[in-house]
């Protein structure tokens, strides 16, 4: 795919959704951090259902630790891997208190030292909480980048590196959100809604599904 096509793709994404953001519910960087840790192998909808109650009780590292592991587990047990996630959250809160004055660090190196935080999670925090032009590659973005030809790669790191090089700088901050929403609501894994896709004439996927799909719109 050439640069002109990529520029037009993101121009259309921006026109359709000028201010994209995460579908996780949060009000502070700390809440976003906890929500993203919980979101591994879980849907944003299931995480939001759990965090509405959780954050009403504990929205700081100190309050989270005060809950106790058993209470935290009871609040997040509807989410997959909840026991491991509870341990990681409490360990992360301890580190935030001990080394970061209870604040979420603003560097990748420090973020990745937190239990339950890998490169993808760090990218989400840096982008969504702190405005950095990072791109967190999840399964949706990996699929869209490969299927469309925007940034094909054999693994998520290759795709991330290609996206960081190929997405025009003017679109880079929001690219993560546009791509994930496109993959979630339009370019689905099993049956992409190609006939109502706003970039189907630019996409280089060889097996487009051009049946009469229902109209699908990315959430704004």
Please give the positions annotated as active site: 120, 138
Convert the chain into a string of H (helix), E (strand) and C (coil). CCHHHHHHHHHHHHHHCCCCCCCCCCCCHHHHHHHHHHCCCCCHHHHHHHHHHHHHHCCCHHHHHHHCHHHHHHHHCCCCCHHHHHHHHHHHHHHHHHHCCCCCCCCHHHHCCCCCCCHHHHHHHHHHHCCCCCCCCCHHHHHHHHHHCCCCCCCHHHHHHHHHHHCCHHHHHHHHHHHHHHHHHCCCCCCCCHHHCCCCCCCCCCCCCCCCCCCCCCCC
Q: Is the Cα torsion angle 157, 161, 163, 164 positive or negative in sign?
A: positive
């Amino acid at each position: 795919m050439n640069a002109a096509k990529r520029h037009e793709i993101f121009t259309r994404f921006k026109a359709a959704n000028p201010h994209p953001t995460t579908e996780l519910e949060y009000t502070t960087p700390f809440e976003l951090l906890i929500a993203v840790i919980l979101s591994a192998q879980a849907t944003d909808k299931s995480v939001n259902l759990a965090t509405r109650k959780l954050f009403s009780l504990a929205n700081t590292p100190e309050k989270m630790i005060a809950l106790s592991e058993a209470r935290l587990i009871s609040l997040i047990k509807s989410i997959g891997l909840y026991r491991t996630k509870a341990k990681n959250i409490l360990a992360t809160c301890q580190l935030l208190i001990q080394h970061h004055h209870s604040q979420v660090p603003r560097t990748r190196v420090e973020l990745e030292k937190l239990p339950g935080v890998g490169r993808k999670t760090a990218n989400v925090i840096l982008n969504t909480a702190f405005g950095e032009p990072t791109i967190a590659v999840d399964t949706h973005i990996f699929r869209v980048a490969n299927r469309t030809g925007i940034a094909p790669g054999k693994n998520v790191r290759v795709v991330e590196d290609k996206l960081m090089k190929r997405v025009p700088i003017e679109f880079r901050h929001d690219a993560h959100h546009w791509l994930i929403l496109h993959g979630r609501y339009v370019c689905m894994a099993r049956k992409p809604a190609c006939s109502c896709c706003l970039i189907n004439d630019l996409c280089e996927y060889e097996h487009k599904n051009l049946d009469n799909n229902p109209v699908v719109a990315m959430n704004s």
